[in-house]
A and B are shown apart, each in its own frame.
Chain A
Amino acid sequence: MSNKSSWSHKALRVDLNKRHATVEEIPRKWQEQYLGGRGLNVKRLFDEVPAGTDPLGPENKMFFGVGPLNGTHFPGQRFNVTAKSPQTGILGDSNAGGFFGTELRFAGFDQLILEGESERPVWLYIRDGHLEFFDADDLTGLDTWETNHAIQKRVGDDRVQIACIGPAAEKGVAYSGIFTNLVRACARTGMGRVMAQKKVKAIAVRGQGRVDVHDPDAFSRIIEAVDEDILNHPDFPSRIVLGTTRLVTALNSLGMLGTKNHRTGVFAAADQVSGERLAREFNTKQKGCFGCTVPCSRYFIVREGPYAGLRSEGPEFESLGSFTSRIMNDDLPLALKCIDMCNRAGVDTITASACISFAMECFEHGILTEKETDGLDLRWGNGPAALRMLELMVNNEGFGSLFADGVREAARRIGRGSEEFAMEGKGLEVFMGEPRGIKAYGLGLAVASRGADHLRSEPFFELLDDPKLGQERFGVPEAALRMEPKGKGRVVKYFEDWCAISDALNVCKNTIVCMEVLPFDRAAELVAAATGVEMSGRQMHAVGERINSIERLFNVREGVRREHDTLPKRFTQVPLPPECGASAGSVMEIEPMLDEYYAQRDWDVKTGLPRRRSLVALDLEEEAERVLALGIELPE
């Protein structure tokens, strides 16, 4: 026992206008209430970025956060980036694995804040508690890999960790991300675009410091148990060989692999683009994030064909499905090429591919013709045309520039009924699962605080197909049955809270949530051993509720209400076609599911606004008052 804590309690605040940085003490109370990472980031965002802020104006701020497990030997560590999103206009937040976040902690910080806007392109070098600014004129236009190499060479230390943007962000592509370790991306909600606007090309970090925990014996005992649980988990073997790419085959066999812009849930050529084929023919070894005992990433090499010589790390399931089933492409090396292009240019694969599948559907219906597509023959499955369209998109030129702000804006620009082909919610494109076959996931997309994203809830519980377990854990047998709408409000609320803890601790949902290695009770024990802050499992759960609620308040301030918590009509009105087997004929019964969800959160069912009492119960009274002061009526 000691008075030590794995939190450094320090934030580095960078004024880009003045090229000046200050070290701030982070209030202990905030760290207890929000832990770190996504939690502390959204607390700051709510406090410091008022309603109506222009996401691309100097008043928008960026928060890079890590949590109390970063720097320890907890397996698999990440970091979060949070700002107001230029793609969606609401909460922007994204996280990535790799090594950057942990290095930030070794450099002495729990959080990095960027404010203002640099006059000239810069890159920042944080080294053991200090920050230096460097002109980045000569880095402008370099892709993420080139930027990484150039900075590593300049610093002369191969342990330096770099988070950078690619040329797409500099060219104004809204769905640009922030990339570390070449391929690990804070991809969603356009955080790279915000960084480009601030003219920050890259942040390099090197930390030689130590992280101490409050109770080393207790801490390492819990990690031993976590290690055991991971190793003995039935998913372990497939996760370390295939990572999430195993889902191509798994979801396809259940009729819920997002295919042909979500017109169906079955892709006939799934075997040719599956994770299994990737492992068999292309992978050379497994790769892992910091300290991870489930190395789910893979290094691959394409040895023949038009893309021979392509070698990189990844991809995970979403990227793989994005450039295969979604656009009906059966050419696996071409999909790998598309993903590589996204990584180097620095854009989100999910958004990019959703724009292409949208365009293909418009093309099929004659809404777009070769006249508008710069001559591209965008029929389904035309891989080379998709690759060319992607190139135009990441360069923000010609036909590609129509899509620079994502699919919602593209549909607005094109009009003529194309809106119904835009597979997005609140401006963010949906993932590669089929919501009609996994209804908790569908509800999760509809209510997710960063737009229609699956990683806000990841409610795999509904796939367990065990009514007894549904009754036991959620009081509703249907909670564990994926096709049933009932009980899903409860499941989603619970899993949203759990995912918030995972993101606030900045560790990986694959282990924390999907492999269930860190339930609330154990998370509380672990945080106590790391920081000395004692809390119960119930209090840990409340941290998750608090994070979700303050995110809702941020979005409420920007105008989000019940009517925005929805999904494209394709999911709510059009039944899945017969080939989808067990999932066939199904639609998302969104309204009753939303009712249940709001009731679970004690939010107003009619408006989707949080009730004041629910906020007071989570110590968010002050935040509620600030929303009320804007004239927004929070129901009693």
Chain B
Amino acid sequence: MKERLMISPEVCTGCRACEITCSFAKERAFWPQAARIAVIKMEAEGYDRPLVCRQCVKPACAGACPTGALARDDDSGLLRLDEDLCVGCAVCVEACPFGAMRMHPERDMPLFCDTCDGDPACVKRCTTKALFWGTTADYAARAGQQRELHRKRWQGMGGEEA
């Protein structure tokens, strides 16, 4: 099973550190609008969720691309963009069922997560580990570890067993 960028929205603080860190890693500028990840927030409900490319096996975005510029790379299994072929039509943005794709604010090309070659910059600055790198099988285990971590911190402060 391949590794991918996984999300635990239940511990996402909505801080957008992932966005700002991503933009710096990819654009050398602090520029959330050009980040490859975006956090949606519903403040009144306390709901925060990062939206990011899910590396679909049959990507809807690539299927919609009229020029073949977007395709899955067979070696890495990652979605890749051939900038020479891209016509900047943004149909991929419309096609992504997760809303995880957006257009670059200045250049006519889509933005999507390339996983920083399997070592995502955003993961390193996500304090609560709402973002992590792993397989879907890890998901349940990671979420459990996260809860355990909080429980230990809590007890370390004299808190009772939850």
Contacts and interface: CB of A to CB of B under 8 A. Distances in A.
Do A and B pair up? The answer is yes
Contact of A290 (B11, B15, B160): B15
Contacts of B159: 241, 276, 279-280
A241 B125 CA distance: 18
A506 to B, nearest CB: 15
A562 interface: no
B13 A288 contact: yes
A349 B102 CA distance: 41
A433 B54 CA distance: 49
A149 B128 contact: no
A291 B41 contact: no
A73 B125 contact: yes
Interface stretch (A212-220, A405-413, A609-617): A212-220
Interface stretch (B17-25, B70-78, B107-115): B17-25
Contacts of A246: 157
Contact of B31 (A210, A240, A299): A210
Interface residues on A, range: 35 or more
Contact of A220 (B24, B31, B40, B157): B24
A285 B153 CA distance: 14
Nearest to A184: B43
A75 interface: yes
Contacts of B31: 209-211
A284 interface: yes
Interface in A257-301: 276, 279-280, 284-295, 297, 299, 301
Interface in B1-32: 10-17, 20-21, 23-24, 27-32
Contacts, number: 115
Interface string A172-214: 0000000001100000000000000000000000001111110
A38 to B, nearest CB: 22
Nearest to B158: A276
Interface string B104-128: 0100000000000000000001011
B30 A313 contact: no
B144 interface: no
B98 interface: no
B30 A292 contact: no
Nearest to B22: A73
Interface string B24-64: 10011111111000001101111010000000000000000
A212 B150 CA distance: 36
Contact of B29 (A211, A280, A287, A294): A211
A72 B154 contact: no
B30 A290 contact: no
A148 B41 CA distance: 13
Contacts of B158: 276
A280 B17 CA distance: 27
A501 to B, nearest CB: 21
A240 B126 CA distance: 13
Contacts of B16: 99, 290-291
A398 interface: no
A451 to B, nearest CB: 30
B56 to A, nearest CB: 25
A597 B40 CA distance: 48
Contacts of A71: 30
Q: Would you call the interface of chain B mostly helix, strand, loop, or mixed? A: mixed
A311 interface: yes
A467 B45 CA distance: 48
Given A299-B46, A313-B46, A287 B153 contact: no
Interface string A207-245: 011111100100010000001000000000110111000
Given A237-B156, A294-B127, A311-B46, A216 B15 contact: no
B30 A288 contact: no
Contacts of A212: 29-30
Contacts of B13: 285-288, 292, 295, 297
A145 to B, nearest CB: 7
A144 B137 CA distance: 43
B162 A276 contact: no
Nearest to B34: A210
B100 to A, nearest CB: 16
Nearest to B149: A237
A216 B156 CA distance: 38
Given A276-B157, A279-B159, A293 B17 contact: yes
Contacts of A294: 127
Nearest to A103: B32
Contacts of A75: 17
A158 interface: yes
Residue among B10, B16, B23, B48 having the largest count of chain A Cβ atoms under 10 Å:
B16
Which among A6, A72, A284, A299 has the greatest number of chain B C-beta atoms within 10 A?
Answer: A299
Nearest to B106: A210
B157 A237 contact: yes
A301 B14 CA distance: 17
A190 B133 CA distance: 46
A279 B154 contact: yes
Interface string A73-103: 1010000000000000000000000010000
Contacts of B127: 240, 288, 292-295
Interface string A308-343: 000101000000000000000000000000000000
A291 B11 contact: no
9 A-B pairs with least C-beta separation: A299-B46, A288-B15, A210-B31, A295-B13, A288-B13, A211-B30, A208-B33, A237-B153, A210-B29
18 contacts: A73-B125, A182-B43, A210-B23, A210-B29, A210-B30, A216-B24, A237-B153, A237-B157, A241-B153, A280-B160, A284-B46, A285-B10, A290-B15, A294-B127, A299-B46, A301-B46, A311-B44, A311-B46
Interface of A: 6, 71-73, 75, 99, 106, 145, 148-149, 158, 181-182, 208-213, 216, 220, 227, 237-238, 240-242, 246, 276, 279-280, 284-295, 297, 299, 301, 311, 313
